[in-house]
Amino acid sequence: MAQSEFVLEMLNISKEFPGVKALDQVSLRVRPGTVHALLGENGAGKSTLMKCLFGLYKEDAGEIYLDGQKFAIQSAREAMDKGISMIHQELHVNTHRNVMENIWLGRFPKRRLGPVKLVDERTMYQRTKELFDSLNMDIDPWTKVGDMSVSERQLMEIARAVSYHSKVIIMDEPTSSLTENEVAQLFHIIRDLKQRNVAIIYISHKIEEILRISDEVSILRDGKNVGTWKAEELTEDAIISHMVGRDLVDRFPPRENKPSDEVVLRVEGLTSPIPTSFREVSFELRQGEILGIGGLVGAQRTELIEALFGLRRVAKGKVYLKGQEVKIDSPITAKKLGMALLTEERRSTGIFPVLDVLENIAIANIHDYVKPNRLLDDKARKEDAADSVERLQVRTPGLKTLIQDLSGGNQQKVLLGRWLLTEPDIFLLDEPTRGIDVGAKYEFYTIMMELAKQGKSIIFISSEMPELIGMSDRIMVMCEGRLAGFVSREEATQERIMRLATQFMSA
């Protein structure tokens, strides 16, 4: 085969799982020295395609060429040896060991001592140092990975990819937990990698970011190719409509909720026992209102609402529900008082992965189903769960399906359904749309608006400015644990929120 203009060609890849055609004749061609963004809603097949490339799945049909050579591998290790690396969404590193051991794991440099081979730490250190220097990264090879920030770990992963002389590096949601500055640093390194003729397959939900960094964009929908474009030919709206498969007129549902004057929740001077956490926070929440909470990572928003829900301790401050002072010391109390919480970490504190949809929905209100004879009313439970699935349009084969087999957006709907059954008055939603795709986001917004219309009150933490502005009646902005100010819906702009969010930060 003649030298191709592409470093990587995946041609007509198909992959089927029981009941789902995850990939249907999908092709992807990537040029060397470019950033190629791969976009699509959750379940569109991005991850599956990348797993086929990285040897984690075996494709049912189709061919892969790397540098014009047929590329057939059995394992991730083989993929890395042949020049393909993947920076995972959830980084797989051994946090108890140091940086260099993580980088060279499986191929430690060795030296002989008589008949035995020992790991040559000095050489390993030397090589690691050179590697970091060449990438302008300032990391000590001896650092224990557990002591490093997420962004440093990511840099380490990139360095590891470079150390394998990777021709193609897959980055799956690399910026999801990075601050602005760290993103800038990452982009700097990506440009450097391009200079070295490395191709990058960049997966992200953040469209604005993709337009900033990528050269070409491929979009998948329902396991099929939609197309490939040069990044400069695309706009944010165009990308979204390609992903969703329809023209997207509005990204947010019409605001039909009418917040009343009645204050349902009043918080006065709430202060955490931890000095660096939230302090002296006071606000009011009205009936039928969606109160957004904006701020940067580290603004202690999650800590604040988890404290409201009784998951964290409070040193000082008062909470009034409908004028009555309450002490919320555990989620059990919060639940009784008509509150519901969707946590930020859906996987670790939300779903019961090995249980089915039914058990995941009907758990927070399980007490309601206890009959006088102490047994559960199974029929009522199933009916309520089926109702929720229907009402929230959860896409699941049935109530018996394990929740871990649903997409992120559908898992989130199940969790919301769980709390709807407890009939709460106040919803605390912590980054509820994080990691779910555009179409599911819109559905989630619609549900939120519907709840507000019914007179439920919602506190809504979001780090995505457009949705914060698009959904909230008022936005409360926090900065380093303190309340920085309120912005009404009419005067909300990204700049204004940003200024408040950085108000107390020393330069």
**Given the rule CB under 8 A, which residues bind another protein?**
17-18, 22, 47-48, 309, 311, 330-332, 334-335, 341, 343, 348-355, 359, 362-364, 366-367, 369-370, 374-376, 378, 404-405, 418
Instruction: Region of 19 please: left (phi>0), alpha (psi -120 to 50) or beta.
Output: left
CB 417 within 8 A of CB 364: no
DSSP 402: B
Name the residue nearer to another protein (CB basis): 159 or 311: 311
Name the residue nearer to another protein (CB basis): 269 or 353: 353
Shortest spacing between CB 360 and another protein, in angstroms: 9
Question: Distance between CA atoms of 48 and 28, rounded to whole angstroms?
Answer: 13
Crossing angle of the two packed helices 150-163 and 121-134, in degrees rounded to 10: 100
Query: 340 by DSSP, 3-state: which?
Result: strand
Shortest spacing between CB 56 and another protein, in angstroms: 10
Name the residue nearer to another protein (CB basis): 161 or 314: 314
Nearest to 202 by CA among 176, 235, 163: 176
Name the residue nearer to another protein (CB basis): 164 or 460: 460
CB 264 within 8 A of CB 321: yes
Shortest spacing between CB 349 and another protein, in angstroms: 4
Name the residue nearer to another protein (CB basis): 343 or 433: 343
Name the residue nearer to another protein (CB basis): 358 or 487: 358
Per DSSP (E only), the strands in 155-231 are 168-172, 199-203, 216-221, 224-230
Token look-up 């969707």 returns 342
Shortest spacing between CB 370 and another protein, in angstroms: 5
Shortest spacing between CB 365 and another protein, in angstroms: 9
Shortest spacing between CB 341 and another protein, in angstroms: 6
Question: Distance between CA atoms of 38 and 219, rounded to whole angstroms?
Answer: 6
Query: 233 by DSSP, 3-state: which?
Result: helix
Shortest spacing between CB 430 and another protein, in angstroms: 11
Name the residue nearer to another protein (CB basis): 32 or 331: 331
Please list the helix, strand and coil fractions of the chain in percent, rounded to the nearest 5, in that order.
35, 25, 40
* Alpha-helix runs per DSSP H in 86-135: 99-104, 121-134
